[in-house]
């Protein structure tokens, strides 16, 4: 079902579901932007800075967004690639994408105070990997080679997991027992491409089992679904997100597959090129799960200055999920609050 909100900026815009519209307009996708896991991870760094003071070390980008990272850096977060770069005894936060068990081990050896900002929905996939490995399954992990989430999940059971990087990766798969194979996936993949990969795997492995529940998370699915709805109406879709953000990149692909003439990924409104808008009547706007909404507001302002002032928000799902902060941080926050009581 598509819910169409009252136009965000003009009283006369309509989402016409196919009727030709000649007036310049924007279709603004909802849901877009921060998911529950990103919100929690960013808050984790912010609260840690408040509680322990700067600097706070963060292993890898907390989320894959240039603006989020530079904003937190300005507040005193230091982003590092590996635990070895963190001075012994310091606090380190692990990013939302998850880490392999050996990373916790290294942190312990360096006496680091580790705070785990892994999204609980990524942790769920780690648990699935551990459980199927314990039952001696071959696990086919569908995901993008080199992505941090895939490295973390694969690290749970390297001897049982092999990566399948999209439909073209299927032919390389070899399993010990075709009766005991399961597929799992990265949380931020294209739903359609993943189903294609699974279909191909099943032609080779008819008894392939599926994850107990969706590994591609609700936020990824919702953001792709609304873009699919608006793309046929759009000349151009602008996706706010960074190049290394898997879910943001997928949204551009979904827009193009859905019929948009152009689809562009931008970190900031200033990157919009005038020729992208030439001859365009309807511009779609959305953002990846790691993108703060003020960046989208800047894009809308930029478009309004170029005649695209009519904005209609198209809603295909309401999201209410939230996650509480990591236990280790909550414990310290509670202890600090107790110390300040009279
Ligand atoms: O996994 P992806 O590259 O899309 O990461 P982002 O952009 O930081 O978005 C949040 C997703 C995440 C932390 C893992 O699911
Ligand atoms: Fe969690 Fe999904 Fe957000 Fe990733 S995209 S952080 S799995 S909610």
Q: What is the pLDDT of residues 9-46, one digit of tens each?
A: 433 334 555 444 469 999 999 999 999 999 999 999 99
Within 13 Å of residue 191, how many CA atoms lie on the same side as its CB?
A: 16
Mark whether 149 is an active-site residue. yes
What pLDDT does residue 19 have? 47
What pLDDT does residue 341 have? 74
Q: Which atom of ligand 2 is nearest to the CA of 119?
A: 1
Q: Is 38 in the pocket of ligand 1 (CB under 6 A)?
A: yes
* Rounded Cα–Cα distance for residues 25 and 314 (Å): 12
CA distance between the termini of the chain: 53
CA 137 to ligand 1 centroid distance, Å: 27
278: left (phi over 0), alpha (psi -120 to 50) or beta: beta
Q: Give 305's pLDDT tier (boundaries 50, 70, 90).
A: very high
CA 139 to ligand 1 centroid distance, Å: 22
Mutate to test the pocket of ligand 1, among 99, 288, 326 (most ligand atoms within 8 A of CB): 288
Average pLDDT of span 142-156: 98
Q: Which residues pair with 78 in a beta bridge?
A: 57
State pLDDT tens for residues 235-252: 999 999 999 999 999 999
What pLDDT does residue 11 have? 31
Percent of the chain at pLDDT > 70 equals 94
What pLDDT does residue 5 have? 52
C-beta of residue 308 within 8 angstroms of C-beta of residue 234: no
What pLDDT does residue 2 have? 55
* Rounded Cα–Cα distance for residues 95 and 237 (Å): 29
Q: Is 265 in the pocket of ligand 1 (CB under 6 A)?
A: no
197 has a pLDDT exceeding 70: yes
294 has a pLDDT exceeding 80: yes
C-beta of residue 335 within 8 angstroms of C-beta of residue 27: no
The alpha carbon torsion through 25, 30, 34, 40 (nearest 10 deg) reads 160
Nearest alpha carbon, ligand 2 atom 8: 37
* Rounded Cα–Cα distance for residues 119 and 51 (Å): 21
């Amino acid at each position: 079902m598509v819910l169409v909100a009252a136009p965000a900026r003009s009283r006369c815009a309509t989402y016409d579901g196919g009727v030709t519209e000649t007036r310049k307009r924007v279709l603004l996708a909802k849901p877009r932007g921060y998911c529950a896991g990103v919100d929690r991870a960013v808050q984790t760094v912010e609260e840690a800075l408040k509680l322990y003071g700067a600097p706070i070390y963060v292993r890898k980008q907390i989320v894959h967004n240039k603006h989020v990272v530079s904003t937190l850096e300005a507040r005193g977060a230091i982003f590092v690639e590996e635990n070895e770069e963190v001075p012994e005894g310091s606090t380190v936060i692990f990013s939302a994408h998850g880490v392999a068990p050996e990373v916790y081990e290294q942190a312990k050896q360096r006496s680091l105070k580790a705070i785990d900002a892994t999204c609980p929905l990524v942790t769920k996939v780690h648990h699935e990997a551990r459980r199927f490995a314990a039952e001696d399954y071959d696990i086919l992990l569908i995901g993008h080679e080199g992505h941090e989430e895939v490295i973390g999940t694969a690290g749970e059971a390297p001897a049982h997991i092999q990566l399948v990087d999209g439909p073209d990766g299927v032919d390389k798969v070899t399993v010990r027992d075709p009766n005991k194979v399961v597929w799992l996936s990265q949380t931020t993949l294209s739903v359609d491409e993943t189903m294609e990969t699974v279909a191909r795997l099943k032609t080779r492995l008819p008894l392939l089992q599926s994850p107990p529940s969706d590994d591609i998370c609700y936020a990824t699915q919702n953001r792709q679904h609304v873009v699919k709805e608006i793309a046929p109406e759009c000349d151009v879709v602008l996706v706010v997100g960074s190049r290394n953000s898997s879910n943001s990149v997928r949204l551009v692909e979904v827009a193009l597959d859905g019929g948009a003439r152009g689809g562009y990924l931008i970190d900031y409104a200033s990157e919009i090129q005038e020729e992208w808008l030439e001859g365009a009547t309807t511009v779609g706007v959305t953002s990846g799960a790691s993108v703060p909404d003020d960046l989208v507001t800047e894009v809308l302002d930029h478009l309004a200055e170029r005649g695209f002032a009519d904005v209609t928000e198209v809603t295909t799902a309401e999201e209410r999920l939230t996650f509480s902060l990591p236990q280790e941080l909550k414990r310290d926050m509670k202890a600090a609050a107790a110390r300040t009581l009279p």
